[in-house]
Amino acid sequence: MQIDIFTGNLAQRDADCLVVGVHDGGELCAAAAALDRRAGGAISRFLKRGDFPGRLAETLLLPAAPRLKATRILLVGQGGKSVTRRNWRKALVAAVTALSRTRCASAAVALARPEPRELDDYLFGRSATEAIHAALYRVNDLKSGTKPAAPALARIALGPVRPTRAAAARRGIAHGQASGKGARLMRDLANLPGNVCTPGYLADQARALAERHPSLRVRVLEEADIRAEKMGCFLAVTQGSDQPPKFIVLEHKAKRGPRAPVVLVGKGITFDTGGISLKDPGAMDEMKFDMSGAAAVLGAMAMVAELDLPLNVVALVPTCENMPSGRAIKPGDIVTSAAGTTVEILNTDAEGRLILCDALHYARRFKPQAVVDLATLTGACVIALGMHHTGVMANDDALARELVDSGLRADDRAWQLPLTEEYGEQLKSNFADLANVAGRDGGAITAGAFLARFTKGLRWAHMDIAGSAYVGGGAKGSTGRPVALLTDFLLRRAGR
């Protein structure tokens, strides 16, 4: 999708469709009023009939009004007069969705915008572009019937933007394009079924990404290499599976900027049955999304490489299946992590923390400025925060705050949970240094506390995306979150 801004008069735009906002009660937004004057009052005469009251995210396509170059006008309900970011985004998504169902190839969009201190021109460009990508996303489905025709829409101009602010808005669009593509990559990967998206498939995707982008280097550790690294916890999880595990190391080497990289670690369980501590069958299919952390990290790397950020970034993706079998780990088994800590596996369904603890240990060799792991780690996080916020835990409050702030700017929100030492004390084992579970209470945080045991001396944050990375039910699928949050975080770390 080609996305740009426009600065001048909307009525003069040579686009297939002009898109304007209408507030509650049929009141025209500024751009719509100008258009209406130009068209001799045709829009306001129509609205007077009351057929289109301007309720948020409703749309109506009108045939062209007189004296305009465009062949159509799309009215979009924007609700009340004060335009919040959330409402603006909803209206924009509704507009793009409606456009995608027409044969319009180009559109100029002039919805009422939130106040500049809510959303400046740079963020306007970035958020709008991300929202357009999200609205146009189609699941790469495996249905055998004929597919609906691809949307004709190929060019969108956003505005009006003041000429002095055009550069900022265009920079936002460029960042939004990279972020939107990253989110799309995440969604494509996470939506694939577990029999297609295996650990080997993820490794191939990382290799393909590295081939497309000159700044990326990839290395895939095979089972023998993983054994040489003494990753006993990771190996314990994969031992019940017939699919070979992979440990993906994908590095973006910046041409300038600080040496110390940001390390992103993504949980890559391509299917989580629970293992011998088998899950209930209800909604178990959703455990194909248990590699969402890995997918988010690969999406973020695609963004970093496309923008060629002046920041070294390393992605670490431990990936395997969690299966029951005659060779699978059993409750009570004790294994030794790469860090040397012994772990009693009381519940084989708490497998994410086992693959992550070995990856976090591996991160040390990069002497990172910060380590952030992303994982669909606990059902307890979904109970605590629902789908609206990603859970953040950290051994460094400043880093946690940085991520929460990035989530606010990106409208991809996160909330910090308290990772105080009491939670770690719940992970006592009679037989090993550490147990891998600590009962139901505070389950999201005790999982974080388990990881924290492996991060001494690192500046580390953990993001539990179990609630935010995908939705179940009728609209089942990956959300692409939190790629937008990571984009903001990494852009800021890169000084952009």
Bridge-based pairing of strands 216-221 and 155-158 is: unpaired
> Binding string to Mn ion for residues 339 to 368, with x set by CB under 5 A, is what?
----------x-x-----------------
Going by C-alpha positions, the residue among 399, 373, 383 that lies closest to residue 464 is 373
Establish if 358 lies at the interface with Zn ion (CB under 5 A): no
Residue 440 C-beta: closest distance to ligand BES, Å: 8
* Shortest Å, Cβ 199 to Mn ion: 16
Residues 72, 16 contacting (CB under 8 angstroms): yes
Instruction: By CB under 6 A, name the one of 75, 185, 374, 380 that touches ligand BES.
Output: 380
194 interacts with ligand BES by CB under 6 A? no
Residue in the block written with tokens 């040579």: 14
- What phi and psi values does residue 441 have, to the nearest 5 degrees? -60, 130
Q: Which of 36, 130, 188, 272 binds ligand BES (CB under 6 A)?
A: 272
Which sign does the torsion angle of CA 45, 50, 55, 57 carry?
Answer: negative
CB of 338 to ligand BES, least distance (A): 20
For the four alpha carbons of 392, 397, 402 and 406, in that order, the dihedral sign comes to positive
Among 352, 368, 391, 424, binds Zn ion (CB under 5 A): 352
179 makes contact with ligand BES (CB under 6 A): no
By the 8 A CB rule, do 435 and 428 touch? yes
Nearer to ligand BES, 186 or 466 (CB): 466
Contact between 157 and ligand BES by CB under 6 A: the answer reads: no
Nearest-approach distance from CB 274 to Mn ion, in angstroms: 5
- 402 is a site residue for Zn ion (CB under 5 A): no
Judged by CB under 5 A, the residue of 16, 121, 251, 272 near Mn ion is: 272
**Is residue 274 near Zn ion by the rule CB under 5 A?**
no
- Residue 36 makes contact with Mn ion by CB under 5 A: no
The minimum distance between CB 353 and Zn ion, in angstroms, equals 9
* Residue 321 interacting with Mn ion (CB under 5 A): no
Our CB check for ligand BES shows the closer of 51 and 441 to be: 441
Number of Cα atoms under 13 Å in the Cβ half of residue 236: 34
Closest CA to 492 of 175, 115, 169, 86: 175
**Number of residues engaging Zn ion in binding (CB under 5 A):** 4
Measuring CA to CA, which residue among 480, 495, 470 is closest to residue 181? 480
**Binds ligand BES by CB under 6 A, chosen from 136, 291, 385, 437:** 437
CA distance 99 to 19: 9
Of the candidate residues 378, 406, 478, 479, the single one contacting ligand BES (CB under 6 A): 378
Nearer to ligand BES, 30 or 382 (CB): 382
Q: Between the CA atoms of 4, 7, 8 and 9, what dihedral angle is there, to the nearest 10 degrees?
A: 70
Distance of CA 301 to the CA centre of its chain: 12
Q: Which letter, b or e, does each residue of 175-209 get, where b requires 16 or more Cβ atoms within 10 Å of its Cβ?
A: bbbbbbbbbbbbbbbbbbebeebbbebbbebbeeb
Question: What one-character DSSP code corresponds to residue 163?
Answer: G
- Cα separation, 37 vs 148, in Å, equals 38
Q: How far apart are CA 245 and CA 229, in angstroms?
A: 14
Give the interface segment with ligand BES, choosing from 119-127, 163-171, 205-213, 375-383 (CB under 6 A).
375-383
x/- contact string, 327-366, with ligand BES (CB under 6 A)? --------------------x-xxxx--------------
Which of 196, 175, 162, 70 minimizes the C-alpha distance to 128? 175
Work out which of 16, 272, 306, 321 binds Zn ion, going by CB under 5 A.
272
* d(C-alpha 222, C-alpha 200), whole Å: 10
Instruction: Give residue 496's Cα distance to chain centre.
Output: 20
120 vs 115: CA distance, rounded Å: 8
Residues that are catalytic: 279, 353
Q: Which stretch binds ligand BES (CB under 6 A): 75-83, 87-95, 257-265, 371-379?
A: 371-379
Residue nearest to Mn ion (CB): 349
Note the helical H segments in 213-266.
Answer: 223-228, 232-238
Quote the longest CA-to-CA distance of the chain.
83
* Least distance in angstroms from the C-beta of 426 to ligand BES: 11
Site string for ligand BES, 277-306 (x = CB under 6 A): -------------x----------------
Q: Which residue is listed with tokens 């400043």?
A: 398
Residue 26, C-beta contacts closer than 8 angstroms, at least 6 positions apart: 47, 48, 50, 52, 53, 54
CB of 93 to ligand BES, least distance (A): 25
Q: Which stretch binds Zn ion (CB under 5 A): 290-298, 360-368, 379-387, 427-435?
A: 290-298
**Token duo for residue 15:** 């686009």
Binding mask 443-482 for ligand BES (x = CB under 6 A): x----------------------x----------------
Q: Residue 378 Cβ, how far from Zn ion at the closest point, in Å?
A: 9
Q: Are the beta carbons of 159 and 110 closer than 8 angstroms?
A: yes
Residue ranges that bind Mn ion, judged by CB under 5 A: 272, 349, 351
Residue ranges that bind ligand BES, judged by CB under 6 A: 272, 290, 347, 349-352, 376-380, 382, 437, 443, 466
Residue ranges that bind Zn ion, judged by CB under 5 A: 269, 272, 290, 352
